[in-house]
Amino acid sequence: GAVVSQHPSRVICKSGTSVKIECRSLDFQATTMFWYRQFPKQSLMLMATSNEGSKATYEQGVEKDKFLINHASLTLSTLTVTSAHPEDSSFYICSATPRAGQGNTIYFGEGSWLTVV
Amino acid sequence: QKEVEQDPGPLSVPEGAIVSLNCTYSNSAFQYFMWYRQYSRKGPELLMYTYSSGNKEDGRFTAQVDKSSKYISLFIRDSQPSDSATYLCAMTRSGAGSYQLTFGKGTKLSVIP
């Protein structure tokens, strides 16, 4: 079946530094990818919608200059947390949808745990 | 009122019990409904995907949708300890072209051997 891979699965970074998380669709082309954040014991909260070849659409309250999203190809989207702070520590999950004709299901990555110290 | 309401639990049941998980929603524009299972520190895994009122069965899992009441359910028969996880309901306004999911908070289920 379709697989969405996220890397790294776990990262610890120092406050003030930037960290990049990759989301790859391994066996399908994804025109749209979504980035979610999940705090402990909370549901997934949509951060942004990433469309290949265009700017991401951010949800209200999500700082686009802090959470940089790049969807440079049909199989890769990246989320860069810039100038990370401890309150950015969270579980970040991406999901991807196959392009038309390749499936009608939303696939999730395994998630990336970010800890900012 | 939140768009999707889901009791966070925790819900604890003995092995072999029938589990009932539920969500209510307020927006009648939601047309497609999903149930995801999320193990601790893992990404969500799709269990069921439905778009019409009624029941859909897959093995030990049955998804039920009642659009008139804006109520969806997931039933797990013969529950196993391996079913212990958080179950999230999710829904979208359209099945084609828009895959933006709105999630419930998730219900944490523990199946006791």
What are the pLDDT digits (tens) for B65-92? 999 999 999 999 999 999 999 999 998 8
Instruction: For residues A16-21, give the mean pLDDT.
Output: 97
Cβ-contact B26, B70 below 8 angstroms: yes
* CB atoms B105 and A42 under 8 Å: yes
Interface contact B42, partner A, CB < 8 A? yes
* pLDDT computed for residue B96 by the predictor: 46
* Amino acid present at B91: M
Interface contact A93, partner B, CB < 8 A? yes
Q: How many CA atoms lie within 13 A of A48 on its CB side?
A: 25
Six-digit token string for A43: 């549901």
Mean pLDDT of chain A: 88
* Amino acid present at B62: T
Cβ-contact B1, B100 below 8 angstroms: no
Six-digit token string for A10: 């776990």
Cβ-contact A66, A85 below 8 angstroms: no
The pLDDT confidence band at residue A113, using thresholds 50, 70 and 90, is very high
Query: Tokens 């989207």 map to which residue?
Result: A77
What are the pLDDT digits (tens) for A33-59? 999 998 877 778 889 988 887 889 999
Tell which residue, A104, A109, A105, A103, has the closest CA to residue A77. A109
* Amino acid present at A69: I
What are the pLDDT digits (tens) for B11-57? 999 999 999 999 999 988 888 899 999 888 788 888 988 888 899 99
Decide if pLDDT at A65 tops 70.
yes
* pLDDT computed for residue A97 by the predictor: 81
Between residues B112 and B45, the one the model is more confident about: B112
Q: Which residues of A touch B96 (CB under 8 A)?
A: 104
